[in-house]
Amino acid sequence: MPFINIKIAGELSREQKKQIVDEITDTMGRVANKPRQYVIVNFDETPEENWGWGGTLLDGKG
């Protein structure tokens, strides 16, 4: 049973998540021969202020 965890800074809309889940599920079926009903996709959305890159927070506020 594939479990795919997507970590992202910020948020995605419900429609974006739906499309990503559908496309990843299709890819797992096509490439890894996994049945759709066994593919699990999880989103971890973290506010941009909780991510730092190169000494700066991603929210751009300092």
The residues that are catalytic are 2
- Give the position of tokens 């599920």: 25
Parallel, antiparallel, or unpaired: how do β-strands 52-53 and 3-9 relate? unpaired
- Give the position of tokens 């490439």: 31
Number of other CB atoms surrounding residue 26 within 10 Å: 12
